[in-house]
Chains A and B, each alone.
Chain A
Amino acid sequence: MINIELLKETLKCLSFIKNINEINCEDSIIRGSIVILFDGLESSLNFRFEIYPPYPLKYHGSESIKFYNEDLISINHVMQDGSICIHNSHNTDLKQKILMDFDSLKQWIQKYYIDKENDLNYEHIVVEEGLVDENYYSYIFTDISHTFSEGDFGKVDIFPLNNAFYKDKVIQNFLVQKFVFNKSKIPCKWNSHYSNIQASEFGLFYFLDKHPAKMNKFILNNWVEFQGLVSNVFLNYLHQFEKKFLTNSKGNILPLFFGYRTVNNEIHWQVALIKIGAFPIKGEAEILLGIKTGKWNTKLISSDIQWALVRDSSYKYFFGRGTIDKSITESKILIIGLGAIGSMVAKTLTRGGCKYIDIVDYDIKEPENVCRSEYLFQSGLCDKVREIESLLIAISPFIEVTIIKKEYFELIAKMLYKDMESRSHLIANLNEYDIVFDCTTDNDLMHILEIFELTGQIINMSITNHAQELVCAFSPNIYNFVNTQFSEILNNDLEDLYEPTGCWNPTFKASYNDINTLVQFAIKHINNIYKNSKEKNNFVIGTNADELTLEIKEY
């Protein structure tokens, strides 16, 4: 707990603090105010401050000291309550921390109040998330291939994702699927899975000419502030809409989407939540020259707006924090074999931003597969392809996943590869892929794929027992390399195998961590090869004796 006297003594060291007003402590929060003046500042500025008990440590990732000046809310990085948004430096020494934090305030004054600097990055308008009947609501949208104009309005098809907890309250999450405007459907650019789900709910949208914000940063919080921003035609439409649905849907929440353009002409949406039967509108008689015309217009009334949470989940932002190289993410990929390695490859590529992954495996997922692959216990026994498909779609709303028939390789390719006509059909099919990951450990298939001489890149991955090494080979030189590695070079322990109960089917021993460490390293190396257009040399990743360092050897 900070000592007030220490605080006062420390602040006296700062020459730009001209006056320290009364400082008190109530409910373990220290409150006070200061007057600041320094060269370049025309007149002094008053700031309140609050210091919370964790000080000098952060609390929930935020500073535990706050500065306020309600007169400065038009300045950059001042919130609606007058608090100044400052990112301070870390220091556990109380006195040093006080000096640094108050000095940060001075720097903020210099940068944003005196120099009036504008940050280069776009900042979304500040929205206070509202609760409706103790529930939060969220709406996730993505890009569309359409440009709306001011005053355009229509219907928005949405469907629920799932309910969860958000700040200890129930949150109802919705995905924005498409806009219906002038009788045409404008789909959001989700993958076919999310695009084809039957939308069970809907909202309305209105496209604005400018941000629905005060000072260009605080969202409007009373409906009357929208008067003049939305057209009378739309307000009348709202009135008719409410009348139509009042009987059967009274009390239902209607999300009202307000769209506007941000940087690079991108569209952003804010969603106001209104209840049918309680729309913030009223009828007003039209008067011309003091005489009622007999017509009625719809006007907005004064009431608070409940704003929902809205997230732009377009591909650019969804994967904005990191993807693998575009030459891979844009590729049409086939993954054969969804065991430990294959499932990890599939999941990693999906989280890396890949858009087209086809999968094939004839096998069933058993409970004992879960410990060292990407499968879940919860789903019980199931076809591996089905669970991986669900998993990939659950991760990314942009991935297209197609399941290839389980007999495609196991029966069709193996039976017909010697028949030249059938072979040419198989090759033509497989040539549609840019990259084929063979994670089957099937030597027969490895041989067949090699003689097919596909135009796309085959990448073959397998490991030795105990995940001591991972062998990765690129077409056209796979079969000889991989076989020689396993039979002649690597010390593949075939004695210490795991013997499941039941029929004879020994398998290797290695944990999820053992395997995934190698798989991630391999994918990182492959990504580096694609990113820098390097030679695709076969490689082996080995763990050294202490198993704490990995070594990659290219061949």
Chain B
Amino acid sequence: MDISKHDYLEKVLESHKMKHVSDFVSKHKTKRDEIKSELQSNYTGKIYVPINSGSYAKHTAINIKFDLDIIVPFKRDAFETLEEMFDSVYDFLYEKYKDKATVRKQKVSIGLEFYPDEDGEVINLDIVPGRELNQDKYLEDKKLNLYVNTLYGVLKEKTYIQTNIQAQIDHITAKENERKKIRLLKAWKHHNRETYKSFLLELLVIKAFDQANIDGNLWEKLKKTMEYIQNNVNQEGFTLKDPGNSGNNVIDTLNTNERQKLSDTMKRIIENIEANDDNIKIYFPINEKFEETDTQRGYGIKTASASVSIPPNNTRFGL
């Protein structure tokens, strides 16, 4: 590899920055603010100020996949049941946006996928209704109960989940070092089609920084983070506390085999990159769409830039 792994990873991060999609994000923000306003008008007296959540709010977003979620905190007495709250918000959003978007019930949220705009872009927003745990205590303790749509819920009997979204957001606030590694692991997850939850990766990285001595340059820090995951995620007794609900051990979302698989994968990534620097490109590819301009490469055109008289450099054989 022509450049160091540190410099390469900086390029990876740069190419995945949200600034490259600022216009698209603006559209999301405009739509998000509109929905927040509509909800506040409709539920006057029953609702607290909706808060922004999702990876964008947590500054862990990458431009190939990001979430702008809206948490909608309701007062305890606004609805008899959580299901009633969930259905009410769904009905309201459906009536409001049925001609502009696909509105669907998801596990704990209502998903709005707006039809492509004039630029062909699709805005996705998730609205998460929650009801304060104790009457008039939300502003103080930020605790919410979320309705779990049983159609999607893995918790067969449980139809609600207690959380504290603000605590989750605060957990990652002012941790730029951790956020870089989270963004890199999210890039790995998306480019390599891994199915691990982003929230799980976030907590793993934060715990790695908390428990292990993560220092050095960007590659060294990432490597040490992955080593921490490799060495710990498969260990009995390893916990990953949800900052929004201390009773929730997030590592339990993986079974024993899946935890071992994650450990093995981390090991393999480190070994392959140590054996050949170029392998870093497999796991942490640059988002070619936003690769920095230099004398060799321009935006959006890379492997196709071959002369017509010789095959392009990604030519495969076997036919």
**Which of A's residues lie within 8 Å of B, judged by CB?**
337, 339-342, 363, 439-441, 443, 461-465, 471, 476-477, 480-489, 492, 494-495, 497, 504, 506-508, 510, 515, 535, 537, 553-555
Contacts and interface: CB of A to CB of B under 8 A. Distances in A.
Contacts of A476: 193
Interface string B255-275: 000000100100010001001
A555 B316 contact: no
Given A488-B278, A553-B272, A483 B319 contact: no
B285 A463 contact: no
Contacts of B314: 443, 483, 486-487
Interface in B267-292: 268, 272, 275-276, 278-279, 281-283, 285
30 contacts: A337-B319, A339-B319, A341-B318, A363-B319, A440-B319, A441-B317, A462-B316, A462-B317, A462-B318, A480-B191, A480-B192, A480-B282, A481-B192, A481-B282, A482-B316, A483-B303, A484-B281, A487-B302, A487-B303, A488-B281, A489-B278, A489-B281, A492-B313, A492-B315, A494-B313, A495-B310, A497-B311, A510-B317, A535-B264, A555-B272
A492 B312 CA distance: 11
Interface of B: 191-194, 261, 264, 268, 272, 275-276, 278-279, 281-283, 285, 302-303, 309-311, 313-319
B317 A489 contact: no
Given A463-B318, A488-B278, 15 more contacts: A342-B319, A441-B317, A443-B316, A462-B316, A477-B192, A482-B316, A484-B281, A484-B282, A485-B282, A489-B276, A494-B315, A515-B318, A535-B264, A537-B268, A554-B268
Closest 8 CB pairs between A and B? A339-B319, A462-B316, A508-B317, A487-B314, A341-B318, A476-B193, A441-B316, A477-B193
Contacts of A462: 316-318
A487 B318 contact: no
B64 to A, nearest CB: 11
A339 B310 CA distance: 21
Contacts of B193: 476-477
B47 to A, nearest CB: 36
A488 to B, nearest CB: 5
A351 B152 CA distance: 44
Contacts of A484: 281-282, 285
A189 to B, nearest CB: 35
A506 B310 CA distance: 9
Nearest to A337: B319
Contacts of B309: 504
A265 B317 CA distance: 51
Contacts of A480: 191-192, 282, 285
A441 B317 CA distance: 6
A532 to B, nearest CB: 13
Contacts of A510: 317
Nearest to A554: B268
Contacts of B282: 480-481, 484-485, 488-489, 555
A340 B319 contact: yes
A494 B311 CA distance: 7
Nearest to B277: A489
A439 B272 contact: no
Tell me which of B281, B283, B303, B314 has the highest count of chain A C-beta atoms within 10 A of its own C-beta: B314
A443 to B, nearest CB: 7
Nearest to A535: B261
A472 B105 CA distance: 38
B14 to A, nearest CB: 18
Contacts of A464: 316-317
Contacts of A465: 317
Given A494-B311, A497-B311, A486 B272 contact: no
A176 to B, nearest CB: 40
Contact of A486 (B194, B285, B302, B315): B315
Residue from A363, A440, A483, A510 whose CB has the most chain B CB atoms within 10 Å: A483
Residue among B281, B309, B315, B316 facing the most chain A CB atoms (10 A cut-off): B316
Nearest to A495: B310
A508 B282 CA distance: 24
Nearest to A515: B318
A554 B264 CA distance: 11
A211 B250 CA distance: 67
A491 to B, nearest CB: 10
A477 B264 CA distance: 17
A492 B193 CA distance: 25
B2 to A, nearest CB: 11
B311 A506 contact: yes
Nearest to A480: B191
A471 B316 contact: yes
A485 B242 CA distance: 38
Contacts of A471: 316
A270 to B, nearest CB: 48
B11 to A, nearest CB: 13
Contacts of B303: 483, 487
Contacts of B311: 494, 497, 506
Nearest to A338: B319
Contacts of A483: 303, 314
Contacts of A494: 310-311, 313, 315
Contacts of B261: 535
